[in-house]
Amino acid sequence: MKQKLTAAALTLLLTGSLFLSGCSSSSKAVDLMKDVKAAEIQTDTALTEETLLSSTDFAVRLLQESITNKENLLISPLSLELALTMTANGAVGDTLTQMEEVLGLPVSKLNPYLHAYAKQLADDEHAALHLANSIWLKEDKKLTVKPDFLQTNADYFQAGIYKAPFDNSTVDTINDWTSEHTKEMIPTLLDKIPDEAVMYLVNALAFEADWEAPYTEDQIDNGIFTREDGTTEEVEYLHSSEYEYLKDEKTSGFLKYYANGDYAFAALLPNEGISMEDYIASLTGEQLRNLLTTSELTTVEASIPKFESGSDTNMAEMFQNMGMTDAFDYKRADFSDLGAYEDGNICIGRILHKTHISVTETGTKAGAASAAEMTAKMSMIPPEEIKTIRLDRPFLYMIIDCHTSTPVFLGVLHKAVA
């Protein structure tokens, strides 16, 4: 059994009596959990159809709220789900209710689900998804953080807990941590720390995988990609034969597997005459999950443009539009299970989300980082026929976990050449 930090021991750490020894106010962050391991949690039954469908539905709703007309988009619903669930562990009352409604499940189910999901991730030199979580606390005597809140996030998310001065050195430290845990794909998460910021709950995610069958030179050529406005651009296309066809009344697509078959690239091309915006607006989590779990075994002559894309967004407004309003309102937010700030109320200031993806002939690299910035504001089968899918116009794409058929990344490519 792994050692579990007692509330009393964690309280000692949080008072500052231990971390200040030998440290100046401008020092780097101090790891409060350096010698502490999270408790072993049994979550064998947490990966249910209910939790997997809920996670996919959250991804679709997030995509619908995030879509920007005619611009490339890339989000990691998994990264955001992890950062916000850690945050929700400190919420109570209407604030918690709204967060759970947006996330799709109560935290009593989200915690074990996400813990179980992380435990089953494939980790191979040719295909791997790495997750890391951390909580950063401001070195401020006015800030009181509840040990149970930190312990829950350490147990379920293996979150590292750090105390720091929240000055320029902390910006560098958090960025260094993010860069390390995204394999340098997200080198900076923060540009500055606002004066009112008292805590960051951060997730970092890195995906690196080789194709199951890398492309050879004769499978690469130049072609035309047509944007929705009719303008064209010349790009390199990767051609291959795939064997899992995705189709419903509004779209068609395919799965292309990465090494070992634990992850796959999924692409969906709306039917001619259906705009990307209209297709996404009509999509539901249940429809997407059905598409990903009921593929047809038939030959697909698939063409993918080589591309690189990414996003850098403050998603606070999007989550408010989804119904999570109290969490951002310093007069209404109730994060009393997280802790308290002497001169004001704690609420969410920003939800930072950065992503990056590169799709080439050898494989795919994708990174994401998400942070909930907590602020204290005053107040208070043999084929029958051959299908052809050429992604030569805007399309929806995903990196999916094949064990759960859930999207790790969701993106829309409007422009093959950014």
CB of 224 closer than 8 Å to CB of 234: yes
- Residue 15: per-residue pLDDT: 46
Burial level of 40, CB count in 10 A (0-12/13-18/19+)?
exposed
Mean pLDDT of all residues in 374-382: 69
pLDDT (tens digit per residue) in 109-125: 999 999 999 999 977 88
How far is residue 37's CA from residue 112's CA, in Å, rounded to a whole number?
A: 17
CA max distance for the chain: 73
For residue 180, the model assigns a pLDDT of 97
Tell me the pLDDT of the chain averaged across its residues.
Answer: 89
Provide the whole-model pTM.
0.90
Q: Give the three-class secondary structure for 263.
A: strand
Which sequence spans correspond to the domains of the chain? 7-209+309-378, 211-307+382-413
Whether residue 335 is predicted with pLDDT greater than 80 in this model: the reply is yes
Averaged pLDDT, 359-364: 96
Look at the domain 211-307+382-413 and name its fold.
Answer: Alpha-1-antitrypsin; domain 1 (2.30.39)
Give the pLDDT confidence of 187-198 residue by residue, as tens digits. 999 999 999 999
- Tell me: the pLDDT tens digits for 231-245? 999 999 999 999 999
Q: To the nearest whole percent, how much of the chain has pLDDT over 90? A: 79
For residues 25-51, average pLDDT: 66
Could you tell me what percent of the chain has a pLDDT over 70? Answer: 88
pLDDT score, position 417:
73
Q: What is the mean pLDDT of residues 53-71?
A: 92
Read off the amino acid at residue 160.
G
- Residues 47 and 109 sit within 8 Å (Cβ to Cβ): no
Fold of 7-209+309-378: Antithrombin; Chain I, domain 2 (3.30.497)
Listing DSSP states for 194-230 in one string gives: -TTEEEEEEEEEEEEEEBSSPPPGGGEEEEEEE-TTS
pLDDT of residue 23: 32
pLDDT at 45: 67
Q: Which of 20-24, 224-228, 307-311 has the lowest mean pLDDT?
A: 20-24
3-state secondary structure of 188: coil
Would you state the structure tokens that stand for residue 213, as one six-digit string? Answer: 């069958």
Q: What is the mean pLDDT of residues 183-210?
A: 96
